[in-house]
Structure 1
Amino acid sequence: MSVDQSDASQACKPQTAPLLARAAAAAVRSDVHLASAIQDFFLAEGDRLDDRTRAATAATLRAILHSIAHDLTGHAAEQLAGHAVEPCTAALPRHAAAGALVHRLYASGLLRDRGLMEELFAQARQDILSDALLVNRAPGATPSFLPALSAGSDEGLADAAIAYLHAENARRAGGRSDVPGPLRERLTWWAAAVLREKWSGGSSGRIAIDRAIAGAAQHSISAYRDDDRLEAIADRLAALLRPGAAELSERLVQSLEEGHLALFVALLAQVLAVDAREIRALLLDPAGEQLSLALRAAGLDRAAIARVGFLLTEADPRRDIEAFADTLDVVAMIAPEEALEGLALLTLPTDFRAAVRALDRAVAR
């Protein structure tokens, strides 16, 4: 009796198909891992992301996404209450729904956004540097700059100093994870798209689900306030301080000594009329030449620039104290107006700066 081999082959297909699919997926993953390993191998040591920055960035991103996801799932579910439509994941606890949403966004590649990651890396590095500055304080030293302002007779200044301390402590404790409004809005719509993908069942109820998710996203966006961010509070405090040329050096050094980096950035940015994000980038750059130029442009003398450089070098092992010392005398001899000319790009409007840098990156390739 002959056996029909084609029938046997057909009978095996339901069992073998998943195995073959997994094998194909494993081959793709292997190629991706190899490409990533090759890219990592050829990175210069200075370009490689350190473990602390990586961990801090990941923690902040997860916290922001979980917050958005909780907000969206809660408000969307409320809007669907009483409808005949039930999202397929409505029975999941909100933390589980948020976790699934975050995982999908990571896998999608949408989070590989230059503006978003630049902000998150900067926040992580600023927090790490701030912690190091506090650790390096003299034994027994206690913060005095902002506590003195908060207890002063100027009520507006005192309120601003208290608000700054609260916002800074909340961020350090992980109780407040945020990004500027436009980035938060982008993340919210990405999260809304994932929620729609997970909640969409058949064609029935699609419109109700879409409207509920869109309404939840719009509610979340409108409720978010940039004014509550540490950077915005630092701007208000810096504007109230209005330090003159004689006071600016002392204020900047005090801010660094006590780990108030957002205030340092806001003070210098306002004096130079430069975007605070640009000053933050100079502060976090381990090379330090541009920050020294910015300090000189603000009118700081050699002693003040040296103090700032020493504090940062002590707190950041990537900085070269000898290289800083070699350039200090040269920087101190430059006139403030000439130093500001050396930072001309930073004074351009935001979109203009972005366009110039995009062209520079294209040439570098």
Structure 2
Amino acid sequence: MAVGPEQERDVLGTRIEASHRLAARADARLTGAIADIFLPDDARLDERTRLALRRVLDGVIAAIEAEIRRHAARILSGRGAADHADQLLNAQATVAGRLTQAGVLRDRLLIDELLSQVRCDLIAERLSPTEATPDQASLLVRLTDVDDGVVAAAARALLSAETRRRAAAEQGGVPGGILPAERHHQLVWWVAAAIRDGLGTGDGLADRAIIEAAQRNLAAHDEGQRPEAAAVRLAAAIDARPHEIGDLLVETLGDRRLLLFIAVLARAVDLDFEAARTIVLEPEGDRLWLALRVAEIDRQTIARIALMLSDADPRRDIEAFADDLDAIVAVPAEGARAALAPLSLHHDMRLALAALARGEAR
């Protein structure tokens, strides 16, 4: 069958477009390969962490996308726009791919939050549980049954929040409310914009429905249900005395409750949860040892905490710690507090200072 001039032009145009797309992909792959080659080893994610981070990021986006699409379609159906609702539900464009292409997912604060969560979960999984006596339950279970109703309620809330997150991870999903309010707010509007962009039209009715669905999602978000927030409330409820902090920190690790360890430490040295989490996750451990000295934790307890964390986090060098232990213990509490003073600044001030520092380094 003969091909006419117009068909030949169409075929040629299609091939040229495909050629341009392939050239762009090849260039992007080369850019990625170059970045990977020169990435320092200590900045490189191990495969398990990278896959877990991608799963959580994609899961959060997918959950928000599904909720916005469903509710927006319901709004459109209720307003007599069934065709628009079907188009919204059956759109082929992937929101995660659109956001990745736009580069917005490279946001430092978003990735920092999700990466910290992933690392906390992986380290907690690897912590070696303390051998309990047959008649003694784990720390968190015991706390749910104490006479102090405030402590018991806070312990039940943390146990429930951690169980939800663990169950979702085991099923390959992500629980709702995983992000702090500011990060969730940002991501919801990115997802809403990508959904709208994927429709390919500027239909006012669909726009209003998507916006209403996004606002509904934001109104329902409760960051207080996050395990991190529950751990902070439990640490405050326990209100450990100075002489109790060392044993409590060890016991939280023995119970594989890393978030509670972080919350107890944060309260003991007057840091917010995010700052304490940052220093606990640092593989070098220098600032963690300083924090433990601020809390006046003794040599034996510091050594025990270091060993427990090193067993759970292969990035840590326990031999280097052993060499430095005498110097760590010799640091006076006030000197350690002065060294950690920048971390005691308000969270937003720390972020602003870090942004200025990155700008000066360019």
TM-score, structure 2 normalization: 0.91
Matching residue of 1:351? 348
Matching residue of 1:260? 257
1:167-178 equivalence runs, <5 A: 167-174=161-168, 176=175, 178=178
Runs of at least 5 residues in structure 2 that lack an aligned partner in the other structure? 169-173
Cα pair distance change 1:255/1:306, threshold 3 Å: same
Matched, 1:39 2:35: yes
Distance 1:79 1:11 in 2: 43
Runs of at least 5 residues in structure 1 that lack an aligned partner in the other structure? 1-6
Matching residue of 2:24? 28
Q: Is the 8 A contact 2:196 2:207 kept in 1?
A: yes
Distance 2:93 2:163 in 1: 27
Distance 1:182 1:143 in 2: 37
Cα deviation, 1:210-267, whole Å, max 9, x if unaligned, reads: 1111111111101100111111111111111000011111111111111111111111
Q: Is the 8 A contact 1:271 1:298 kept in 2?
A: yes
Q: Is the 8 A contact 2:223 2:229 kept in 1?
A: yes
Which piece of structure 1 moves more, 105-114 or 309-318?
105-114
Distance 1:81 1:67 in 2: 21
Deviation at 1:77, TM superposition (A): 1.3
Match of 2:159 among 165, 171, 176: 165
Cα pair distance change 1:106/1:88, threshold 3 Å: farther
Q: Which amino acid aligns with 1:336?
A: A
Q: Is the 8 A contact 1:252 1:264 kept in 2?
A: yes
1:326-345 equivalence runs, <5 A: 326-345=323-342
Q: Which amino acid aligns with 2:196?
A: R
Matching residue of 1:58? 54
Deviation at 1:140, TM superposition (A): 8.8
Matching residue of 2:114? 120
Match of 2:314 among 317, 330, 340: 317
Distance 2:338 2:183 in 1: 31
Distance 1:324 1:145 in 2: 28
1:243-322 equivalence runs, <5 A: 243-322=240-319
Q: Which amino acid aligns with 1:110?
A: V
Q: Is the 8 A contact 1:200 1:209 kept in 2?
A: no
Match of 1:111 among 105, 115, 120: 105
Which piece of structure 1 moves more, 141-150 or 326-335?
141-150
Matching residue of 2:142? 148
Deviation at 1:352, TM superposition (A): 2.1
Cα pair distance change 1:99/1:167, threshold 3 Å: farther
Matching residue of 1:191? 191
Q: Which amino acid aligns with 2:122?
A: I
Q: Is the 8 A contact 1:89 1:199 kept in 2?
A: no
Cα pair distance change 1:199/1:38, threshold 3 Å: closer
What number of residue pairs does the alignment pair up? 353
Q: Which amino acid aligns with 1:176?
A: P
Deviation at 1:209, TM superposition (A): 1.4
Which piece of structure 1 moves more, 191-200 or 70-79?
191-200
Matched, 1:74 2:70: yes
Q: Which amino acid aligns with 2:37?
A: F
- Identical-pair percentage: 37
Cα deviation, 1:10-40, whole Å, max 9, x if unaligned, reads: 6521111111111111111111111111111
Q: Is the 8 A contact 1:272 1:297 kept in 2?
A: yes
Q: Is the 8 A contact 1:87 1:200 kept in 2?
A: no
Q: Which amino acid aligns with 1:266?
A: A
Q: Is the 8 A contact 2:72 2:85 kept in 1?
A: no
Cα deviation, 1:54-79, whole Å, max 9, x if unaligned, reads: 11111111221121112111211121
Distance 2:239 2:187 in 1: 35
Q: Which amino acid aligns with 1:133?
A: L
1:74-93 equivalence runs, <5 A: 74-86=70-82, 88=84, 90=86
Q: Is the 8 A contact 1:145 1:255 kept in 2?
A: yes
Distance 2:78 2:154 in 1: 45
Q: Which amino acid aligns with 1:319?
A: R
Cα pair distance change 1:99/1:64, threshold 3 Å: farther
TM-score, structure 1 normalization: 0.90
Which piece of structure 1 moves more, 121-130 or 152-161?
152-161
Cα pair distance change 1:36/1:83, threshold 3 Å: same
Distance 1:297 1:240 in 2: 21
Q: Which amino acid aligns with 1:150?
A: T
Deviation at 1:88, TM superposition (A): 4.8
Q: C-alpha root-mean-square deviation of aligned residues, in Å?
A: 2.3
Match of 1:240 among 218, 225, 237: 237
Which protein is bigger by CA-based radius of gyration?
1
Deviation at 1:49, TM superposition (A): 1.1
